[in-house]
Structure 1
């Protein structure tokens, strides 16, 4: 599938425009998928052949708030790190955006709650799970490796719980214990969001790898100590010489090569 020829006019001069422009520069083909009453943004590095493994990339929270008291009008990420990671990784790979992101913040059914307190709520998770299930069915995908960065790791956890074809979950700098993370930053509780730390253990058959940066002050590995104690060896953690957003690109090829997709 070819990359887009130009950034759509409605994106120009906005955070979505910068994000779309970077996707175009990386040769990623754009698309949309309707699921759960929302329209979700897609980027892919090539057409998916039947019966193969898909690497699904999920982004962080972007910009939910402008300040501690002012909600952002557009939560789309400014940093295209996840697009860069996707471009380095194996094919086929696909970026799946969240409800109300990428220019959809004013669409029917959207409200700031879905990118603030409810950013990991049932409507968000259900829509993204439905999108993944539709992709699996229409493109005959055999297995899925979910790769979630920061808050995308939280969503990835829930997708792995719900979608049987997901047999591998990799998170990078993910705030998997929402309560511990909120307390660390003195954030208001994410009321309505689904917290992996207080939910059921990951279903059997899902290989987990949770990567944390040694220099990450936003989401250090220590925040998931209680999850490690509760979930045991299946909750596998690994430290990387990285910060929250810095250093991941340099280490990503080696980290991917170390994965066992069997």
Structure 2
């Protein structure tokens, strides 16, 4: 059986050179995003934050799966993305209050994160304790902005977590995903790789987020998470979800360059 998901192997097809943390800092600093660490549930998460207006909502970006696998049958020792596309979306956002959340075990030294284990970037990447951790981090940042709501954005596997977090909150103003893995069971079947029974699946909570205004963006050339995945999720949600398929874009294309225009799209039910 093939063990590595295609999402986890993307880094194998790209130039994964240099220090990821240094690269992330260099991306974030010109945008005024400062590196922080947040103890959230079972995990110590690395984040980048810019909060400048207490009278404005918060936008939270959730990173993709990162470098989960070194080869088709060998998990990575460290899931930190070498090219953090979720962070690039946050950098492109000029809103007053922006937070980027790395996934558990990304960018955070294993020595200070004892709960980290390979399973959390392979078969349990969307497990209950992972969702609970991301949700707790969102709550902590919203405490800095009393009375404000949150806009959730997720790239790739982060899209799954954005949906799963949204399903357990009452303060979500909007939900957006880019190349989101909104049905990991369907994606893994498509690529004939192992299922993830210990992970929650975004499409299973589609009706729980049905009243949230949302946009799901997919690349027409994405062969990793093809547009059919987002299309099925949008159909399961109903009229408050919109699908936008972008010509010429693949899974790891330069989504940040397109993001200001995509983010400006008026959402249904808003």
Q: TM-score, normalised by structure 2?
A: 0.85
Task: Report the more deviating stretch, 84-93 or 114-123.
Answer: 84-93
2:263 equivalent in structure 1: 256
Alignment of 1:109-148 (within 5 A): 109-140=115-146, 142-148=148-154
1:41 equivalent in structure 2: 46
Alignment of 1:211-230 (within 5 A): 211-230=217-236
- Higher relative contact order by CA 8 Å / sep ≥ 6: 1 or 2? 2
CA contact (8 A) 2:231 2:243 kept: no
1:63 equivalent in structure 2: 67
**Cα displacement (A) at 1:253:** 1.4
CA deviation profile, 1:150-190 (whole Å, cap 9, x unmatched): 00000000111112211200000011011110011222111
1:51 equivalent in structure 2: 55
**Cα displacement (A) at 1:33:** 1.1
**Cα displacement (A) at 1:214:** 0.9
**Cα displacement (A) at 1:256:** 1.6
Structure 2: gaps of 5 or more residues: 1-17
Q: TM-score, normalised by structure 1?
A: 0.87
Task: Report the more deviating stretch, 54-63 or 237-246.
Answer: 237-246
1:105 and 2:105 are equivalent in the alignment: no
2:202 equivalent in structure 1: 196
1:177 equivalent in structure 2: 183
Task: Report the more deviating stretch, 78-87 or 63-72.
Answer: 78-87
CA distance in 1, matches of 2:142, 2:234: 31
Task: Report the more deviating stretch, 189-198 or 84-93.
Answer: 84-93
Match of 2:192 among 183, 186, 195: 186
CA contact (8 A) 2:179 2:219 kept: yes
1:238 equivalent in structure 2: 244
CA contact (8 A) 2:186 2:229 kept: yes
Match of 1:164 among 150, 170, 188: 170
Moved over 4 A (4+): none
Task: Report the more deviating stretch, 49-58 or 147-156.
Answer: 49-58
1:210 equivalent in structure 2: 216
CA distance in 2, matches of 1:65, 1:42: 22
Alignment of 1:87-102 (within 5 A): 87-91=91-95, 92-102=97-107
CA deviation profile, 1:38-64 (whole Å, cap 9, x unmatched): 2111112x3242231111111110011
SS of corresponding position for 1:202: helix
CA distance in 2, matches of 1:54, 1:112: 31
Structure 1: gaps of 5 or more residues: 1-12
SS of corresponding position for 2:82: coil
RMSD over aligned Cα atoms? 2.0
